[in-house]
Structure formats: structure tokens, C-alpha cells
Amino acid sequence: MAPRTYLPLAVLALIAGAIAAVLMIGEQRGADTETSNRGEPGEPADRRGALVDEVVFTEESDPGRLTALIEHGSHHLFTQGIDSATIFRQAQDSDQVGHFLSHGTAIELTLNPAAFEDDQRLNPFQEPRIREALNRLVDRRYVAEELFGGLAVPRYLPINTAFPDYARLAETARSLELEYRHDPDRAEATIAEEMEALGAERRGGRWYYQGEPVTLSVLIRTEDNRERVGDYIANLMEDLGFAVERLYRTAEEASRIWMTGDPAAGRWHIYTGAWVSTVINRDIGDDLNYYYTPRGRPDPLWQAYDPTEAFSTAAERLERRDYSSVEERQTLMKEGLELAMENSARIWLVDQLSVWPHAADLEVAGDLAGGLSGSQLWPFTLRFSDRVGGRVVAATPSMLTEPWNPVAGSNWIFDRMILRGLTDSAVLPDPFTGLYWPQRIESAEVTVTEDAPVSRTLDWVSLETTEEIEIPGDAWIDWDPEEQRILTVDDRHEDGLTARSRVVLHYEDDYLERRWHDGSQVSVADVVLPWILSFARADEDSPLFDPSHLPEFEVYQRNFRGWRMIDTDPLTVEVYSDQVYPDAENLVAARIPGALPWHVLNLGIQAERGGELAFSSSKADRMDVEWLNLVSGPSLEILRGYLQAATESEQVPFEDVLGTWLREGEAAERYRALGEWHRERGHFWVDDGPFYLHSVRPVEGSIVLRRYADHPDPSDKWLRFTDPRIPELEIDGPLLVERGDDLELTVRITYAGEAYPGEEIEAARFLLFDKNDQLVLEREAEPAAGGEWHIRVPAEELEALGTGANSLELAVTSQSVALPAFATHAFATLPAGEAEADGEEEE
């Protein structure tokens, strides 16, 4: 079947029109008082920080119970997008349950590419051609329509079908979707050929290796539709002649096998993976590097990836933005996508339409991509619609899935969602466009070289181009572990150094007057220490060295060209890099130095130096120690000992450097505050967001966040993000076109029944396909009078179609909402004179 029947354009048009991704919510009382669900009358502008008093997270792994729990009033929302059409209908039919939708979740098959240590066992997926063949084996339309009940669209590529890059790369996407369409006979032939080359033989319809059946272990997640996906894949593999072991596991159980376990140990072959884009990704160039190379993550599975040199180079160049024009980027993306499909360490299946049920009187800003769990605005907008304050009870399928620490702790979406409620980031992404807005930054100045294709949209950023950017000699660029000092550009580069970008960050006037949740005052040391630690973890002679950190650090070091503190009143930082982004706002976001409470970070540093804890799972396994956890488990007792020692000595890590940035008496103040915090809360997680971590109860399965009353912002600061203006498309035109005539179509682009402002339309591009689904023409629609748009294909260009059924597919992107809108118009080309004859006969 032609791939166009699999493609999501028409379906996405319905999805895009259905998405209303943002809700909102109310207020609370003091941080440490008892809270209730009642709240109080009042206006968001009358208070500061969070709009509810308390958020209680409880574990609930059965989404089928959610509608009833919300209707009974025991819960208010679910932190996972639902993929069940049945639950969606229940939410639609209930007066007590509201919902919103998002489209940033991707379902895929993660394949184990390692050769097993036990050479008596064969891993077929060590062979790239077998991995590649799985793309043709799976029927993505079946997965989307049957297994997900229509709440998904087929996906072939490592690029989300609802993000801007999919529309920009439509020609490449169509070509690859055609190449890898469902073709089980071709897939089976390739797999058989490669299995025999690996030394396996097929007898009686079953595969054997060294006399034993080839058994595939399929690791199947049980909390959602991936259980059905896993069974579908297992059935396909059995039909091909493999013995299959089905391993049904929860998130935490599965993580220990596929992510943190050694892939060469052979405990699994296929994992039913899912990934959430927590923001609208305006540039997916990073994704090839992240998903297919050892530079993506420090975990053992990633370290087993072995991309070809060409693929690795393309992925790295895209990650570094090593191109000088939009056209060069398009060419590089095309090459990268083609090589990714040949590699196929992952088999992308569908983009899921996620349903987020919540109490009808609850509102919260969700992200068009990441929904609730991916939203960075949820802690600033969560409220009851008729009151401020009160308690919200949130159900989550998993929490504390992996240890929490800010260096290399849990990356699970459910843990990260809770942590976002505790953090006050310097910039926050627009939930509709993916562009960043300032939170703790007053303004930013961006300068790029003339060969860097960067544009600006929002006024808080300025953008200039220049022929060359010279880096000042006193900029910090490296760390000397022996002398324990920061090295400058002058130290490392006697002949000077240049960069492709310079970003000057102007923080808010009172940035260094703010307080961490434990009451200690923020200082420059909180910004400097995380940077030093990154270098120490890459130093083979340091007790903090972690090999799993190296791939990520090496990418950073290839791009980084120095930074320096220009001023501390207010804090002003200048950062140089060779890496650029298409959007100046997102370039600024990528250049902001991380800030962590240095006294808390120091406890982990000392515990790792002492050989008792490790920041990363990989190092913890190698050292046979606990993975550092600031909120629960055996780590807490170890950290208490280091806190006592640090308090007694007023210990400062890397004191020769960090000490110059401390206020008088700061170390004593910090450890005293942390000691009191830990005695009251029982954990060591200190942050600066609109909520603080009140309590963690792993046994009972609950986490409580309470409003941080000293947060600096008015509570209504982010309430403007309520209405995503997703374009709605309608195409009018003939269904029959005679040869010799032009094709003329009228396009209406609207929102809420009104014409969409033409100045907000970024692009309206159409693709013309012939009866064989071959792309014949790609062009822009033209704006016309009255808010309409016009498409005209001259008769001489229609000649290339021949006669028969054809289709035109339109993709529209807006500056207000990054989610593309799609529409399709089908028509037939006929020999001259037949249209009239057909018309008379029908009449």
C-alpha cells in the first residue's frame, strides 16, 4: 500500500484542531500551615508564587481508575498522558472531568545492539540490516488505529510529525516513508539472509544457533498501551521463527534492565520505549546525536552504540550546528535521517495523541508537546478556577523511579515533572511555540558571525551579526586540576581565540538577593561550582572522574569557547560558543550557566571522593556503592555524616577558587540552614522554585510539595498562556481537472471562525503527488484578498502527473503556535473533454 495512506497529514489536521492544551489553577495559604482542598476567594494577582497551597503526588499505575477517582473527588489530575480511547470517551462524557491534549509522546522499539558476552547466544540486532528490516516488518497504521484506538499517527523517522522540522523536511520524510513502508515479505527475506550470515540456521520454521533455538527477550512495559505493542512485536518475531520470552515490567523494573544494565549481559533484545518532548522542539538536530551515539547519554546502553563514521559525523555536526545556511542544514538533516534509518537502533512506531484528564474545576498550563508532565509552566499556573489556595492531589504512575540528584540523577518523566515544580529556571519555554521567555533574566544580547543562520522573534533578546567574534583573554575556558585554578583563554591560547556566538546575560537586579528553600542566600558560587564539577568529572586523575560523563563533556568542550563574570551588581555573564541555534531565544537558553546550591552539591562531591556514593548509576555500579539520592534511601545516612563534617570545618569545595565568591560567614550560614532543613524535612533537596519539597514517603508512595511563600513573582505572571491559536485549514477546488487546464485552489486559514492574521503565518507550503505517490512539485501558497490563500499549478506542470488520481498536501506553520496544521485535497487529472462528459452522464 502506498505510504501516503499511512501519513499523518489529514489526521494531524483533526488533531491540531482538537488540541486546546492549556488549563489553569488557583491559590493557597502559608507554606507550613495545614492545607485543605477548600482554598479561599481571591485574585491571582494578590499573592506571590504558586496558586495552590499544596500538591500531593500519589502513585497510581491503573489509568482506568482515573475518571472514577476524579469524579469521587479524591484526585484532581493524572501526570501521564492517557493513550486509551475508552478513557478518553469517559472523560468527554463526564461533567466532573475535563481534559486537554498534547502531541509530544513518541512510541518506539529500543533495540539492543551489543554482541553478547555469552558467545553461545546470538543477538540478531547486533546486525544493522536486521534492525533496519524491522521498519518494514511492523505495520504502523495497525499500531496507530488498532492498538492506540486512533489516538496516534504513524511515525517512521527520528523526527516528531507534529513539530516544525517535519514540515520543513516534508520531501525527505515522504521519500523515506515510502522506502520503509510496510513490506513484511521484504523484511523477512532480509532477516533470513542476515541470520544465515551470522551462523544461524532455520529448521522446521524455527531459527537455531549452535543447536539451540534463538530466543528473543522482549521487555514489555505494562502501564499503558505499550503492553499491547510488546505483544504485537513478540507475535511478529514468533511468526518469523524466533522463540520469544516476554518480560512484563513496570518502569522501575525495566529501567534496571535496559537503561542501567550492561547490554552485553544479554538480558533483553527489544524494549517498548516511549519518549516525551517536554517542549516543542524547534530544531531536532540534537536528536540524532542523542538517540544514536554514545554522546547522547552516559548509560551503558548508549555506550554500546556504534554508528558508522558518516552517521556519527553528521549527528555531531547537527548537534554543533556546524552549518552556515538553512540550505546546508537541510542537506545535513536529509543525510542524517537516511543514515538513522540504516542504523535503526530504534524503530519509531507512532506519535501518540495524549489525553490529560483533570478535575473540571482545575486549570493548568499544559505544553502542546509535553502535556502536563513536560510542562515547565505547570507549577506557576496550577489553580482551581473559582478560588486561590487549596490542595491538589495528583496521581502518577511512577515516582522515585531512580535516585534524585541534580548531577546525574533520575531522568524519568514522572520524577522530572515533580522536580520542575521545585525549580525556578532562568528562562521558560513558551508552551505553544517552544521559544524561551525570561524568568530570572532581564534581557540578553546575542551576537553571531555572519555565517550563522540565526533569527530573533521576541523583544527581550537583541541580535547582531559580525564578521568575527574575538574572545577576551580573561574569559574562563578550562580547569587546572593540579593547581586547582580556572584557566583563561590567555592561558590556553596565546594567539587568541574566536567563536561563532557571544551571549551577554543580564540577570534581574536582585538575582543574588534571592533565597534557596532552606533560607540561605544565593551567591555567585552557586553558578561557578557546577561548571568546575563538570571539568573535575572529566579528569581521569580526579576521584570524581566518571567515564560515563566523558561523551557529553567532549561535545560540550568542542563547542565551548569561554565565559566570564562581567558584573555582580546586577549579575551579568558573557558566554562564548561555536554552537548556534536557529532561534536567538533558544540560543540564549542553551548558554545560561546552571545554578545549584553549592553547599548541597558539596555533600555529594565529598561522598563520591570518599568512595561511599556516586552521582551516576554507571559509576555507582563500577564502584559498587549507592547511587546518590538526596531524598530517600541509604544515601541519607551517609550524607548526614558528611554534613556534620562540613559543618564543623565550614568546608568549601575547591576553596581557592570558590572562596573568592563567598560572602563573609557564608559557609557557616549555609550548613546551619541545611542542617535545620534536613531535621525538619528528612531530605537534602534544596531548590528555589514556586514549591518546596515538604516530605518524601517512599513506603507510603507519596510526595508532598508546598507553596514557597517567599517566591519573588506575582502569581498571575504566566497566566497569559491559555489559548493556543492553532490554524484551521479548508481547501476548496475541483475534484476533476482536464489536461490543458490549470489547477486552482482556494485555501482558508482560520482560527475560531476568523481569518488567521497573514503576518502570523510563517509558511504555507504544498506538496503535489502523482498516482504513484511520487512527489512532483513542492511550492508555497500565495496570500490573497480577505485572508484567503491561493494555490495555482499551471497546466504545463500538471502534465507531469499524467492521468489518474493525485493528491495535494498543504502544511501551514504559524509564528504563534509551532504545531503545523495539515490538509489534503484529492483530485483526478483526465484527458481533455472527459470532465464535461462525465458531468453530463452523472446528471
Range 92-108 average pLDDT: 88
CA distance 692 to 540: 36
pLDDT in tens, 654-673: 999 999 999 999 999 999 99
CATH 3.10.105.10, applies to 105-350: yes
Q: Where are the domains of the chain?
A: 3-102+358-420, 105-350, 438-687, 728-842
Position 689 scores a pLDDT of 96
Residue indicated by cell numbers 472527459: 834
- Tens-place pLDDT, residues 536-565: 999 999 999 999 899 889 888 989 999 999
Angstrom distance (rounded) from CA 527 to CA 665: 18
Report the topology of domain 728-842.
Immunoglobulin-like (2.60.40)
Q: Nine-digit cell at 607? A: 561522598
For residue 676, the surrounding DSSP H or E stretch is: helix 666-681
What value does the CA radius of gyration of the chain take, rounded to a whole number of Å? 28
The pLDDT of residue 170 is: 82
Report the pLDDT averaged over residues 502-527: 97
Q: How far is CA 240 from CA 113, 147, 249, 282, in A?
A: 19, 21, 24, 39
Which of 715, 400, 446 lies closest to 584, judged by CA? 446
DSSP letter string, 725-783? ---EEEEE--SEEETTSPEEEEEEEEETTEEPPGGGEEEEEEEEE-TT--EEEEEE-EE
Kindly tell me if the per-residue pLDDT of 6 is higher than 80: no
Task: Tell me the three state secondary structure of residue 632.
Answer: coil
d(CA 113, CA 129): 11
pTM value is 0.79
CB atoms within 10 A of CB 40: 14
Give the model confidence (pLDDT) of 807-843 as tens digits: 998 988 888 887 778 889 999 999 876 655 444 433 3
pLDDT tier for residue 85 given thresholds of 50, 70 and 90: confident
Alpha-carbon gap, residue 660 to 788, rounded angstroms: 63
Q: Which three cell numbers stand for residue 808?
A: 495535494
Report the percent of the chain where pLDDT is more than 70: 93
User: What confidence category does residue 41 fall into, taking pLDDT thresholds of 50, 70 and 90?
Assistant: low
701-739 confidence digits (pLDDT tens): 899 999 999 999 999 999 888 667 888 899 999 999 998
Q: Burial-class residue 561 by CB neighbours within 10 Å (0-12, 13-18, 19+).
A: buried
Question: Which residues on adjacent β-strands are paired with residue 111?
Answer: 270
Beta strands in 119-192 (DSSP E): 152-154
Q: How confident is the model at residue 21 (pLDDT cuts 50, 70, 90)?
A: very low
**Is residue 320 very low, low, confident or very high in pLDDT (cuts 50, 70, 90)?**
confident
Query: In terms of Cα–Cα distance, which of 573, 562, 460 is closest to 511?
Result: 573
With a CB cutoff of 8 Å and minimum separation 6, the contacts of 667 are 599, 650, 651, 652
CA dihedral 18, 21, 26, 30 (to 10 degrees): 160
Length of the chain: 843
Residue 304, classed as helix, strand or coil, is: coil
